[in-house]
Structure formats: structure tokens, C-alpha cells
Amino acid sequence: MHPIVVDIKKKNFTSNSSDRIFTAIENLKFELLENEFTCIIGPSGCGKTTLLNAIAGLDNDFDGSINIKKTNPSELHSSYVFQTPRLLPWRTVMENIQLAAGDNHSVPFIINTLQHLGLGNNMNSYPHHLSLGMQRRVAIARAFSVQSRLLLMDEPFVSLDPSTAKKARELLLNLWREQPRNILFVTHDLNEAFELADRILFLSDSPSHVIADVQITSPRPERTPQFLDNFKNQLSIKQPHIHQFL
Amino acid sequence: MMLRSSLFNSTLSLGLLLVIWQLASLSINSPALPSPILVLSTLNQAIQSAELLHHLGITLLRLATSFFLAMILGTAIGLILGRHHKLNTFFDSWLIILLNIPALVTIILCYIWFGLIETAAILAVVINKLPNVIVTIREGARNLDDPLIEMAKAYHFGRYKTLVHVILPQLYPYIMASARTGLALIWKIILVVEMLGRSDGMGYQIHLFFQLFDIASIMAYTVSFIVIIQLIETALLKPLDKKTQRWK
């Protein structure tokens, strides 16, 4: 049995102005293995955020089921890194994290997580004193500080400049190696996905479903630009229907 | 430097007002406009006799009770109406009616229905203030940051934590605005309430002085009340403002 099974038969939106029904997701199904870093790639507007909201339990208005097996009762199903940091501006970095983590994690654990993300000196700062890149890392620290089965990340590094984003990805991988989790990472940047993932799920246009499920087994340090070019070439030969992404 | 010059300015401005008052009362020379000196000595006497403090205390107690009742109820109702569109459209007409009933009418109706008792007096003030609080807080509740509320939901904050850490800090400017206008409104209404149906408090005393044509006392009581309200503003509201806005 897989610990995490996502099976959405249908997710509709009705617009307020007319009676038109828009189907965002149809027959989207996948399972996650233990402590796997999975990236989701899809065209913009294909319902990636809708999918994460459904998995996070923020939107229960769909046909289908999300099954996340919990190993202990105090842990949450999921923690969520949104596209924007979504920190409470009137609380410090530490307070923001403690509010989300509840009593489950001790202060030393949170401090350790913050230090891993290069935020050791900013624990008592208010969010607007930090750069956007740092705020995004605080959001990641918050997600890791919460005990949860699945970490959802919705383009957490979008609108960062390339070098800041690269650094943030390295810090994320370091933290993940120390505190392994199931991660579901949505991105529209294929290179980002190749850099991070054990596995990439390609989604179709809406109504979206999984059109390709690609494993990347080679270790991350070996994923040089040249290796990725080869990988993409092979992929476009083996799976010509995802050519548009490559 | 800034502080000193602003202090200097306000002293100068107040001094000018006193001089004009003094000159006016001298030139009119009638009991209808007592001089500031006479008013201050009357004030002094009233404080010494403990009469002023007794009535002032009672009025302040009524003010505090009705103020907090109106603020708590108004914030709760405003928050609910601001977050639930259907409820808001349904009850909007009630709110408009409440906003438009003259203060005097609610006061008289409360006294008629509940008798000349303390509860009726407090209730009358609360009913007068409540719709203003509701309207202001409702505006704030409409402008709440939905992504932050979604975040609170994703991390299972629960109702209490969401209210205290996510919603109230956002409502804070609206709460402060309605607290400020509320204080000004309530203390004006409360005197009328006391005049019409209570046998103590500032309103009752001023009514008494009106019947005795004791204008110096009326003015002395007014001065004491203005001082108290200003004290509440500078010693309570402003520091509170600073403390909760420190994250900015």
C-alpha cells in the first residue's frame, strides 16, 4: 500500500456570472512513495494550485479522494509552502513558525531548521525587514517545522533572481536530506524540476491529468547541463507526447 | 526638538484661547459668561467638596461599561457580517434603521420599556454606539487578507489562534478608529441619558446647574470632563497604538 494516494475524478468550477462549468481536473491519479521528492510540471492554468489546495484540504469540493496515511495522530496531513510567503507581518519569524508548529516541536529544532536555511540571525526579525528570498525561506522553515506527512510547495522560488533561486534550491535540498519528507513541488521550470526531483509528473492542459511519470535515478551532483540535455533528448524520443515541455 | 516646539505651540494656542475668553467675559460682564478664573476656582471648590469626583466617577463607570459592551458586540457582529455576504445583505436594512434612529428616541424608549434603571441607561448608550462600530469593523472584515486566512487553515490554527493572531491584528486600525470616534460619541450621549433618567452623574449635575442657572459650575464640570477624555487618549489609546504597531 502506498502511503499517499491522490485520486481526483473531477474538479469543477462554476463562474458566478454565467452557468458555464469549467473542469479543471479530470481523472488525475498518482501515488507517492516514502520520502520521495516529486515535481509537478504543467502548462500555466492547468490547475496545479487547484490540485495542491485539494490535497491540502483547503478545497474539499471535488469528486475523488485524497488518502494520506498518518503515522502518528499529532501530525498534520500536509504542510504548505504557498506561491507567496504568507507570513504574518505582525509576528516575528520565530513566532510565525511556532504558531504553525504548535507544541509539537521544540525551539532548538526550529532554530536548527532556520540555521539550515541561513536564517540563524533573523529569528526575531519581522518579515518586512527581510528580502523576498529570505521570506520564502522562512515559509519553507515553517513548513519543515510542522510535523506532516507531505510537504506541498507551489512554485516557492518564482520571481526570485536566478542566483538567489539556485541558492534557495540548494538549501532546500540540504534541509530535505537532513529531514526527509514526501515533497510535492509544483513548478513551471523544467530545469528546476530536473535539478530537484526524484520523479517528475507531467500534467496536461485542463482538464488536467497525468500524461507522463518520469523517474530520475541519477544522483543530483551528476545532473550537469550536458546530462540534462541528453536526458531531455531521450525523453522526447521515448515519450513524444510531452515534447511541448522539453 | 519637534516635541518641544509642538508643546510650545499648543500651550501658546490654549493660552490665546484663555485670553480671548477672559477679555470676552470682561467686556460682556454678565453671569452668562463667567471668566476662566471664576470657572477654575469653581472647579477647585467642586473637587475639594468631593462632589465632582463622585459624579465624574459614576459617569466614567457608565462610559467604560457601555464602551466595552459596544466595542465587543460591535466587533463580533461586524466581523460576522463582513465575512458572510448573505447575512450582510439580509441584515443591512436593520443596520440602516439602527444608524438612523435619533439618540434621544432610543434613550426615551429604553427608559419607557425597562424603567428608569441603570441597565436601561447603559443599554441606550450601547444601542446608539453599536451600529457605528459594526459598520467600521464590517469594512475591516471585508478587507481581510484571504491568503493569510487560508494559510491559517492549512496549518490548522483553529478558531482561537486564527482570531487572535491572524484576524484581530488586521482589524486593529478599524478597532482603533471606532474606539476613538466611539469615545467622543458615547460621552456626549451619556450626559443626555443621565439628564433624562438618572439621579447622579455629570448629566444629572449639569441639568441641575441649568435649573439653578449656575453657569460657572456647568463650565467647570465640562472642563474636568474634557481633561479626563484627553487623559484617556494620551495615557491609554496612544501608548496602545504604539505598542501594537511596533512591527511596522
Domains and CATH numbers, chain B: 35-244 (1.10.3720.10)
CA angle, residues A117, A119, A121, in degrees to nearest 5? 150
Give the cell for residue A164.
538567489
Contact residues on chain A for B169, CB-CB shorter than 8 A? 88, 90
CB A81 within 8 A of CB A113: no
User: A90 and B169 in contact by Cβ < 8 A?
Assistant: yes
Q: CA–CA distance from B23 to each of B34, B39, B223 (Å)?
A: 11, 14, 19
Arithmetic mean of pLDDT, B195-224: 93
Name the 3-class secondary structure at A80. strand
pLDDT at B82 over 60: yes
* d(C-alpha A33, C-alpha A1), whole Å: 10
**Nearest CB to B148; choose among A56, A80, A86:** A86
* d(C-alpha B19, C-alpha A224), whole Å: 85
Q: What is the third-level CATH fold of A4-245?
A: Rossmann fold (3.40.50)
Strands (E), chain A: 4-14, 21-32, 37-41, 63-68, 76-81, 148-154, 182-187, 199-203, 210-215
User: A91 and B165 in contact by Cβ < 8 A?
Assistant: yes
Arithmetic mean of pLDDT, A26-54: 90
Name the 3-class secondary structure at A103. coil
Contact residues on chain B for A79, CB-CB shorter than 8 A? 154-155
CA dihedral B110, B115, B121, B125 (to 10 degrees): -10
The residue length of chain B stands at 248
User: B165 and A99 in contact by Cβ < 8 A?
Assistant: yes
CB B198 within 8 A of CB B111: no
| Residue B122 backbone phi and psi in degrees, to 5 | -65, -45
pLDDT of residue B3: 62
pLDDT band at A1 (very low <50, low <70, confident <90, very high): low
pLDDT of residue A161: 87
Gap from A212 CA to chain B (nearest CA, Å): 29
pLDDT band at A92 (very low <50, low <70, confident <90, very high): very high
Residue with the larger pLDDT of the pair A106 and A213: A213
For residue B153, give the chain A residue with the closest CA.
A58
pLDDT band at A104 (very low <50, low <70, confident <90, very high): low
Q: How far is CA B24 from the centre of its chain?
A: 31
pLDDT band at B7 (very low <50, low <70, confident <90, very high): confident
Contact residues on chain A for B161, CB-CB shorter than 8 A? 99
Arithmetic mean of pLDDT, B196-213: 93
pLDDT of residue B55: 94
* Pairing of the two strands A210-215 and A199-203: antiparallel
| Most B CBs within 10 Å, among A49, A53, A86, to test the B interface | A86
- Whether chain B has a CB inside 8 Å of the CB on A206: the answer is no
pLDDT in tens, B119-176: 999 999 999 999 999 999 999 999 999 999 999 999 999 899 999 999 999 999 999 9
CA contacts within 13 A on the Cβ side of B137: 28
For residue A101, which of A113, A90, A89 has the smallest C-alpha distance? A113
Give the cell for residue A80.
504548505
For residue A83, give the chain B residue with the closest CA.
B147
Averaged pLDDT of chain B? 91
Arithmetic mean of pLDDT, B47-72: 93
Residue A89, judged by CB atoms within 10 A of its CB (0-12, 13-18, 19+), counts as middle
pLDDT of residue B2: 56
Report the 3 state secondary structure along B155-167. Answer: CCCHHHHHHHHHH
Q: CA–CA distance from A133 to each of A40, A137, A171, B241 (Å)?
A: 22, 6, 12, 31
pLDDT in tens, A146-198: 888 899 999 998 888 888 888 889 989 998 998 888 999 999 888 899 989 99
According to DSSP, residue A124 is labeled: T
Averaged pLDDT of chain A? 88
What are the helix (H) ranges across B29-145? Answer: 36-48, 51-83, 85-100, 103-114, 118-142
For residue A82, give the chain B residue with the closest CA.
B151
For residue A32, which of A181, A155, A148, A141 has the smallest C-alpha distance? A181
What are the helix (H) ranges across A152-200? Answer: 162-178, 190-196
- Whether chain B has a CB inside 8 Å of the CB on A90: the answer is yes
Q: In what order do the strands lie in the sheet with A76-81?
A: A76-81, A148-154, A182-187, A37-41, A199-203, A210-215
pLDDT in tens, A219-243: 888 888 888 888 888 888 888 888 7
According to DSSP, residue B233 is labeled: I
pLDDT in tens, B215-244: 999 999 999 988 888 888 888 888 888 887
Residue A74, judged by CB atoms within 10 A of its CB (0-12, 13-18, 19+), counts as exposed
Contact residues on chain A for B151, CB-CB shorter than 8 A? 80, 82, 86
For residue A90, which of B237, B176, B165, B155 has the smallest C-alpha distance? B165
Amino acid letter, B203:
G
Residue with the larger pLDDT of the pair B11 and A71: B11
Give the cell for residue B140.
475591516
In chain A, domain spans: 4-245
Q: Which residue has the cell 536566478?
A: A162
* d(C-alpha B187, C-alpha B180), whole Å: 11
* d(C-alpha B117, C-alpha B189), whole Å: 16
Report the 3 state secondary structure along B98-109. Answer: HHHCCHHHHHHH
